[in-house]
Amino acid sequence: MTPLLALSTGVLFATGMYMLLRRSIVKILIGLVLMGHGANLLILTSAGILRGSPPLIPQGEERIADAHADPLPQALILTAIVISFAIVSFACVLVKRAYEIAGTDDTEAMRSSELPIGSDPGGADT
């Protein structure tokens, strides 16, 4: 199971890096999402896949005797999911606004069509 998860992590990272190197902002955003999923899967894989009881110490004992699941990687992944959702949501709004202003999602076209200083990007002149 671990080699399959390691291969999946590598595929997610490779695909995410390929998408990050594209010219379209939407594809860059998709690459960011894939890299986030790859990082979460990397944390889960490096922690080890172990089925076991919850990490609770029985009353009267000082240690856990049986195999137990480690809750720390799961907590880290849950936190990473929430943070990546916030980042992707914010990036989606930025992509939408950049498309409204520039009329394209191509980064090279955006670079060549920079707005002059003092112009209003919304189009409302006062």
pTM for this model (two decimals)? 0.74
Question: Which one has a higher pLDDT value, 15 or 49?
Answer: 15
Domains of the chain, with CATH numbers?
2-50+69-110 (1.10.287.3510)
Of 3-17, 24-38, 47-61, the one with minimum mean pLDDT is 47-61
- DSSP string covering 21-70: TSSBHHHHHHHHHHHHHHHHHHHHHHH-----B-S-PPTT-SS--S-B--
Can you tell me the distance from the alpha carbon of 71 to that of 10, in angstroms, rounded to the nearest whole number?
A: 24
* pLDDT tens-place string over residues 18-42: 999 998 989 999 999 999 999 999 9
Question: What mean pLDDT is predicted for residues 85-96?
Answer: 93
